[in-house]
Amino acid sequence: MEDKEILTKIREKEYRETGFSLLVKKYQQRIYWHIRKMVIDHDDADDILQEVFIKVWKGIDKFREDSSLYTWIYRIATHESLNYLNRKRRRSMFSLDDVNQELSRKLDQSSHIDGTEIQMKLQKALLKLPDKQRLVFNMKYFDDMKYEEISAITDTSVGGLKASYHHAVKKIEEYLTRD
């Protein structure tokens, strides 16, 4: 179903919940995987996914359609994921490396993680990157998003994104070659 039809349903009081259910079913997988790649752990990703859709539910009446529904939900998910990582750092008073080491440990120990050696190595290499660079890399490499789409979500210039992705790829290839 098209976003326009979903939004129309949500805006009719009688069909609001049905419309919202359609929205959740349409976007839950893409948004979940976007979050999961940032926070690694399934339970954390599940919590954040719920928060994202609760914020969508609360804010949908204020959504002005300046951007597409897809971009708007992605933006919320991006902010929630980055906020989660920032809060984790601030509240635990961990340094950048400590939180990333914790995420790295989760890669080894959490349930619902089962990959080949190279898949695990790539994820560990990604955890060496700053959060925002990792985010851009995930959207470009894993999700095959266009720079223009990433730009709309992150409010960053296409040039800046290209540079960020280029640096990320270089660092990851160095890491994979070295270790």
Partner 1 sequence: MKLDDNHKKTPFRIPDQYFEEFPDRLGKRIREESGKGGGKLVSLPAFIKMGIAASFLVLITFGIFHLTSGDRSADQMLAKIPTESLLVYLEESEMSFDELMETVDAELIVPDGNLMESGLISDEEIENELIEDIITDYELEFEI
Contact positions toward partner 1, by CB under 8 A? 17, 21, 24-25, 28-29, 32-33, 36-37, 40, 42, 46, 49-50, 53-55, 57-59, 62, 72, 75-76, 78-79, 83, 90-91, 93, 107, 112-116, 118-120, 122-123, 132-133, 136, 141-142, 154-156, 160-161, 164, 169, 172-173, 176-177
47 alpha-carbon distance from chain centroid: 13
CB 107 within 8 A of CB 122: no
Min dist CB 21 to partner 1, Å, is 6
Q: Which is nearer to partner 1, 55 or 128 (CB)?
A: 55
Min dist CB 4 to partner 1, Å, is 21
Cα dihedral 137, 138, 142, 148, rounded to 10, equals -70
Amino acid at 177: T
Q: From CA 20, how far away is CA 6, in angstroms rounded?
A: 7
DSSP state of 142: I
Q: Which is nearer to partner 1, 29 or 101 (CB)?
A: 29
Min dist CB 5 to partner 1, Å, is 18
Closest CA to 73 of 40, 29, 42, 41: 29
Q: Which is nearer to partner 1, 2 or 114 (CB)?
A: 114
Min dist CB 2 to partner 1, Å, is 19
Q: Locate tokens 């080949």: which residue?
A: 116
